[in-house]
Amino acid sequence: MKITIIGTGYVGLVTGACLAEVGHEVFCLDVDQRKIDILNNGGIPIHEPGLDQVVARNRAAGRLQFSTDIAASVAHGDVQFIAVGTPPDEDGSADLQYVVAAARNIGRHMTGYKVIVDKSTVPVGTAGKVAAAIANELKSRAVDIGFSVTSNPEFLKEGAAVKDFMEPDRIVIGHESDAEGLQAQAVMREVYASFEAAGRKIYWMDVRSAEFTKYAANAMLATRISFMNELANLADKVGVDIEAVRQGIGSDPRIGPSFLLAGCGYGGSCFPKDVQALSRTAQEYGHDLRILAAVEEVNELQKQVLGKKVHARFGTNLQGKRFALWGLAFKPDTDDMRAASSRVLINELLRAGARIAAYDPVAIEEAKRVLALDFADAPQLIEQIEFASDHMAALPGADALIIVTEWKLFREADVAQVRDQMNAAIIFDGRNLYEPAKLKALGIEYHAIGRAILTQNES
Ligand code: NAD
Ligand code: UDX
């Protein structure tokens, strides 16, 4: 099939490459010339394990092309996936300007029947707005061409995006029930035919329910994390080990073991903005989604937890203190710094007078870019952070090590060596990577999340 992907970011590039991998002829469009140039020169604009091979293989096979040519992109695909960003507006609602612009372009250039697929995460009712934008353009061209808008939200996780796309738990597709909607359903079945043949389950539903499903999934996951973080903070007070509790409850199949890890808060491009956007949708309908307001508030506070622990140990003024910082990205295996907890911590430490030596396996360049924006009001503070060439090189002279991202490299570090490299044997661990008993035996003062009962004697 001939497929166009509009927006060649995380989701668009992965979707395009993976649909080419299953045999479709894919045209990826972006308005960002820089991204398209990188891709056409054989590079990849994001860090995503395995993506480079899928892209290279399918480019070489002639099934995957990249361009900024809008007219050519509309002409190419019988199916047009919209995978542009839907960032938060000032009031927290999803900003649909890029989605609507993409829809207008389709309406402006289409000459035959198209199935339009909303792949971006969009609020309930967006398919109607996309249809209206296309219909307006067709009307101004005085042409009558059939089309149908479907919703096919994406559930991939960064760092595992290719695997998540190729081996999805489920595929959700919403379509209209009129004749054109049923025709669109048949087209979408063909798009995902190889996935269905491999036993992947497709959930067919109405468009609004599909749109809502995406927000419901992310809100549910964010709620689990905030709930565990609340329990972890309480666990510290009442003398309970949150890791033991996690295992104790996760073994109940009604609860399940995933997404129960307490830590220094969730970040990324999805949870924070999707929780906000769903709250906003609720407000628009006069419904007070109180749970989600709490989920968001708990997460904002949780991102401050490491900074608070550092202050509790070293005092308010951190002049003359130097901290090693492991992990900048919002999670491992990505260079994405959007809403990363490290930004909240760095902000707190630098403004309190500390120096930082930071290391992340892939996010250092992106960190430099976003920190320049975060410290636009105090650019001199940026000079107090240096970036180490590897994780051990960040340690010499440090008064403590602070861990923000759960990279495997950090989990597997030789903690005795870590201790020997630093000024003081103190670790603040925002991701509960180590066994407290082991660190205690090594004489390391260990501050984790929700494990005070096992660590408090050392401080
Ligand atoms: P992104 O910012 O990485 O990519 C969006 C791309 O769209 C950019 O390259 C931008 O230049 C391009 N673009 C904007 N307007 C355009 C237009 N009119 N024509 C062509 N290209 C245009 O965003 P992303 O992370 O890929 O997210 C895209 C959508 O997918 C969002 O709605 C997001 O919520 C959702 N989503 C993201 C993830 C994730 O893990 N990143 C997972 C699931 C769903
Ligand atoms: C998320 C959803 O998982 C995915 O389905 C959706 O399509 C996009 O948003 P992503 O943001 O890439 O994916 O990362 P995810 O693995 O979900 O982690 C998000 C954040 O939650 C990270 O900061 C991570 O450290 C944190 N997290 C995750 C926890 O704090 N505890 C956990 O148990 C799991």
* Region class of 43: left (phi > 0), else alpha (psi between -120 and 50), else beta: beta
pTM of the model: 0.94
> What is the rounded CA–CA span in Å between residue 360 and residue 371?
14
pLDDT score at 457: 54
% residues pLDDT > 70 (the chain): 99
pLDDT of 280 over the 60 cut: yes
Q: How much distance in Å is there from the Cα of 149 to the middle of ligand 2?
A: 29
Tell me the chain's radius of gyration from C-alpha atoms: 24
Atom of ligand 2 nearest to the CA of 156: 7
Please name the fold of domain 215-299.
Answer: N-(1-d-carboxylethyl)-l-norvaline Dehydrogenase; domain 2 (1.10.1040)
Q: How far is 394 from 432, CA to CA, in rounded Å?
A: 20
Q: Is the pLDDT of residue 246 over 80?
A: yes
| Summary mean pLDDT of the chain | 97
Q: For residue 347, report the distance from its CA to the centre of ligand 1, in Å.
A: 27
Q: Which atom of ligand 2 is nearest to the CA of 225?
A: 31
Nearest ligand (C-alpha, residue 403): 2
Rounded CA separation 42/336 (Å): 21
pLDDT value of residue 455 = 86
Phi then psi for 398, rounded to 5 degrees? Answer: -80, 140
pLDDT for 343-369, tens place per residue?
999 999 999 999 999 999 999 999 999
Phi then psi dihedrals of residue 2, to 5 deg: -100, 120
How much is the pLDDT for 132? 98
Tell me the percentage of the chain whose pLDDT exceeds 90. 97
CA dihedral 255, 256, 257, 260 (to 10 degrees): -40
- What integer is the mean pLDDT of 315-322? 98
Q: Is the pLDDT of residue 432 over 80?
A: yes
Residue 222 has pLDDT above 80, yes or no: yes
Fold match flag (2-205 vs 303-458): yes
Per the CB < 8 A criterion, the answer to whether 335 and 46 are in contact is yes
Active site residue 270: yes
| Domain 303-458 part of CATH 3.40.50.720 | yes
In testing the pocket of ligand 1, which one of 29, 118, 269 has its CB within 8 Å of the most ligand atoms? Answer: 269
Contact 355, 328 (CB under 8 A): no
- The domain 2-205 having CATH identifier 3.40.50.720: the answer here is yes
> Does residue 459 surpass a pLDDT of 60?
no
Give the start-to-end residue ranges of the domains of the chain: 2-205, 215-299, 303-458
Give yes or no for a contact between 92 and 279, defined as CB atoms under 8 angstroms apart.
yes
Average pLDDT, integer, range 431-457: 93
Q: How far apart are CA 402 and CA 433, in angstroms?
A: 11
For residue 277 and ligand 1, the question of a CB distance below 6 A is answered with: no
Residue located nearest, by CA, to atom 9 of ligand 2: 270
Beta-bridge mates of residue 171: 202
Is pLDDT of 456 > 90?
no
Mutate to test the pocket of ligand 2, among 121, 296, 331 (most ligand atoms within 8 A of CB): 331
